Amino acid sequence: MLPVDHVCHTEFKAVESPLVTEGVDIPDGYMALDIGPKTIEKYVEVVRKCKSAIWNGPMGVFEMEPYSKGTFAIAKAMGESTQELGLMSIIGGGDSASAAELSGEAPRMSHVSTGGGASLELLEGKVLPGIAVLDDKE
């Protein structure tokens, strides 16, 4: 799924009133720093319908207040859906794990891993180096 709107600014810094785009286009000179409110609504709706969800990567610059809304909204939706609807929620990657922790939702998830690349490789069916070494020891 791709964002349908964005929270943008011309500089990589926290500001009181960042620009929220009405669509997918980002104006010249601006950068997307978070997903917009329409995208948040769309993503939350999808999360609530899922039986399993794998999250790898924050929605925006969650370390800066005006750009944390998307990431924290998704974390909340996943935490609530895990606890109330039986969602199998897997968080993969250091940034995503940190965002889940900062949002207070990490304890509500099914599994949180700081190994983003390794998590994705495992899902792809690749043999992880640590496992390969154990296999060689037989």
Domain ranges for the chain, please list them. 39-136
What pLDDT is stored for residue 119 in this prediction?
Answer: 74
φ and ψ at residue 91, rounded to 5 degrees: -105, 125
- Give the span between the Cα atoms of 106 and 76, in whole angstroms: 9
Classified as helix, coil or strand, 119 is helix
pTM, two decimal places: 0.86
Closest CA to 22 of 42, 4, 9, 40: 4
Q: Does domain 39-136 have CATH number 3.40.50.1260?
A: yes
pLDDT band (50, 70, 90) for residue 137 = low
- Give the span between the Cα atoms of 88 and 6, in whole angstroms: 28
pLDDT band (50, 70, 90) for residue 113 = confident
Look at residue 38 and tell me whether its pLDDT is greater than 90.
yes
